[in-house]
Structure 1
Amino acid sequence: MPHPANAFALVADIGGTNTRVALADGRRVLPDTIRRYRNSDFAGLETVLHQYVADEGGVDARAACVAVAGPVRDGRATMTNLDWAIDKDTLARATKAETVAILNDLQAQGHALGHLDAANIRTIIPGPKAKAAAAKLVIGVGTGFNAAPVFEGNGVRLVPPSECGHANLPIRTPRELALCEYVSTAHGFPAVEDVLSGRGLERVYAFLGAEANDPREAKAQDIMQSCASGDDPRATEAAQLFTRILGTVAGNLSLIQLPFGGVYLVGGVARAFAPYLQDFGFSDAFRDKGRFAGFMGNFGVHVIEDDYAALTGSACHLVALQGA
């Protein structure tokens, strides 16, 4: 059945591999309208959105917001892991929406906080009760890595973007130094994302093979499956090393942003690691800050297990833009 014109907003979450598109009624994403498209099947976002509009019976949206895995500046986004460029004119042309917005995907995740089902939030490290307006931090671990703080003030939520996944990987041990040297051969620079991402997990696994003079490769999905089945000790070792580095980086970002309202891990890789973070040393690495180890207890850490949180955040951002 065709949707009524100008009744809903169109929201999209553009990852490195797939794009999810849906309609939203206010802050609520309509589950029956969610569709997923493989990016490799399309030349760019405009063709994806044309396909979605057609798939939804020629829907005419009143507003549109897309969340993009890449930096956004002056209304234009450049994908970090996909050769697409996106601007507001393209978005308006593709959707015929009167109001359009482009967010970094972590900004969208930040706008979703407080509007997600509590059943989809898994606590890894409990934190003390905080005021509703306390700063928060979202950390995305998926095809890439990024983070964004979430600030509240005078009824307005501010989620500034960053590209911290391309900062230097921290080094605390000789083994981590060896890993940095190993991954730097890919780009000449050992960035956080080179380890803390799906491809990064694969690099950690390959590094352990090189270290053991027994080189083997494995896909991230297979590594996590082996963690569950216990049939490959190297997969478990790779996941443990990954987890400790994730804890170190998350702790560093927490000291920078002071998210007394909580740290929220998001993304497909974060969700896959959620059952293992406690056993694989995340908490110890997160708190391992010398004389600030006790202070780290101020920050609770959670994993958002809602695959569509960025869609909700995009819808919430549009509501705020339109003053509804």
Structure 2
Amino acid sequence: MFEFPVLVGDIGGTNARFALVEKKGAEPRLLAHEATADHPDPSSAIRAALAEDGDRSAPPRSAILAIAGRVDGPEIRLTNAHWTIAGERIAGDFGLSTAVVVNDYVPVAAGAAGIEPHDLTPVGHCPRVPGGARVVLGPGTGFGAAALIPYSAHLAIVSTEAGHTELGPVDAFEEKVWHALERVADRITVEAVLSGPGLARLHAAVAHVRTGQPHDKIDPAAVTEAGLNASDPHAAEALALFARLLGRVCGDLALTFLATSGVYIGGGIAPRIVKVLEESGFRAAFERKAPFAAMMKGIPTSVITVHDPAFNGLAALASEGEKFVYHGQVWRKPA
């Protein structure tokens, strides 16, 4: 499907990371991290990344790019940036034979198929169970999720918009927090609370509930730091609530896809709060799924700790494309 070298890219609203897979089965070699705001379009960022590489390798012959957005047409506008991405245009700009654009959690799911134990930090003590479906998800700038499902001799990757599903309170404290939470488009969704901006919303709402006074939002990184070092009790409580809500949503997605081979948590937040996940009731919330609590106890949950997990998945899609079935925007040079 892909001619080598293959350019792979992980493109978000803030940064675009590019690498080269020089031959089938090779590890991706990082080219550059480019800020999206520094470039008028993706081709400009790709040129800059290739220029940094100089003459170390042959120019790419094909590309597969993962974007933080819904891939639903020939041109995709990034949700949190000004770029419009079209595989055909990028292929023309660089003389490529193939250009594929996928949702950013498609390669994370592909990477989960062969992820090594040393790239995971388990949360709870459940042994890995091979052969079943898996779910990958991640709270970061937003909330992404996908499932990896065995289908005959293939692995089907199902992208989702789970971040835009509704989320509600389950006890009296959460109900008070929900009344104080900032809405997004008049909704409280998974992404509205389980993301960087969502952590800031939770902190402001928890402080409001505990003090009786409205509280301004602060930077999510500041919430995390203050919660971890116990300098702000409201931040610590917000982090614990974040972890319980994440456990609940992980459990819901595990049930949705019967992910008996595990739930893998990526994104930028989870690796920083592993201790909170272990101590806050994450697993209890994950397992509290009557009448299937016994089944849930046997499903492992882990945090992905490898850096740039999308690159390994993109390399797998490039080298082992016949193994995976997935949705994406595909352009190929006419014969």
Confirm or deny that 1:166 pairs with 2:164: yes
User: Which AA in structure 2 matches 1:298?
Assistant: G
Task: Return the alpha-carbon distance in structure 2 between the equivalents of residues 52 and 129 of structure 1.
Answer: 38
Q: Could you tell me which residue of structure 1 aligns to residue 67 of structure 2?
A: 68
Q: CA deviation at 1:318?
A: 1.7
Q: Could you tell me which residue of structure 2 aligns to residue 109 of structure 1?
A: 108
Q: CA deviation at 1:200?
A: 0.4
1:46 to 33, 43, 46: 43
Q: Could you tell me which residue of structure 2 aligns to residue 316 of structure 1?
A: 316
Given that residues 7 and 21 in structure 2 are in contact (C-alpha distance below 8 angstroms), is that contact kept between their aligned partners in structure 1?
A: yes
Given that residues 147 and 257 in structure 2 are in contact (C-alpha distance below 8 angstroms), is that contact kept between their aligned partners in structure 1?
A: yes
> More displaced, 153-162 or 100-109?
153-162
Task: Return the alpha-carbon distance in structure 2 between the equivalents of residues 270 and 62 of structure 1.
Answer: 36
Where do 1:24-39 residues align within 5 Å? 24-25=21-22, 26-31=24-29, 33-39=30-36
Identity %: 28
The 3-state SS of whatever aligns with 1:278 is helix
TM-score normalised by length of structure 2: 0.87
Given that residues 60 and 97 in structure 1 are in contact (C-alpha distance below 8 angstroms), is that contact kept between their aligned partners in structure 2?
A: no
TM-score normalised by length of structure 1: 0.90
Task: Return the alpha-carbon distance in structure 2 between the equivalents of residues 27 and 72 of structure 1.
Answer: 26
Cα deviations by residue, 1:20-69 (Å, 9 ceiling, x for unpaired): 111123344344x3421122222232221121122222751022111111
Q: CA deviation at 1:129?
A: 4.3
Given that residues 53 and 95 in structure 1 are in contact (C-alpha distance below 8 angstroms), is that contact kept between their aligned partners in structure 2?
A: no
Task: Return the alpha-carbon distance in structure 1 between the equivalents of residues 152 and 75 of structure 2.
Answer: 28
Task: Return the alpha-carbon distance in structure 2 between the equivalents of residues 283 and 119 of structure 1.
Answer: 21
> More displaced, 48-57 or 251-260?
48-57
Q: Could you tell me which residue of structure 2 aligns to residue 203 of structure 1?
A: 201
CA RMSD of aligned residues (A): 2.2
Given that residues 27 and 312 in structure 1 are in contact (C-alpha distance below 8 angstroms), is that contact kept between their aligned partners in structure 2?
A: no
Check 1:77–1:217 CA distance in 2 against 1; reply closer, same or farther (3 A cut).
same
Q: Could you tell me which residue of structure 2 aligns to residue 3 of structure 1?
A: none
Check 1:171–1:314 CA distance in 2 against 1; reply closer, same or farther (3 A cut).
same
The 3-state SS of whatever aligns with 1:310 is helix
Q: CA deviation at 1:321?
A: 3.4
Q: CA deviation at 1:187?
A: 1.8
Q: Could you tell me which residue of structure 2 aligns to residue 287 of structure 1?
A: 287
Cα deviations by residue, 1:257-292 (Å, 9 ceiling, x for unpaired): 111111100111122222320112101111112332
Confirm or deny that 1:192 pairs with 2:190: yes
Cα deviations by residue, 1:129-177 (Å, 9 ceiling, x for unpaired): 423x311110121111121110123432211211110111133123333
> More displaced, 258-267 or 95-104?
95-104
Structure 1: gaps spanning 5 or more residues: 1-5
Task: Return the alpha-carbon distance in structure 1 between the equivalents of residues 126 and 258 of structure 2.
Answer: 13
Structure 2: gaps spanning 5 or more residues: 324-335
Check 1:95–1:163 CA distance in 2 against 1; reply closer, same or farther (3 A cut).
farther
The 3-state SS of whatever aligns with 1:268 is coil
Where do 1:135-284 residues align within 5 Å? 135-211=133-209, 212=211, 213=213, 215-284=215-284
> More displaced, 281-290 or 120-129?
120-129
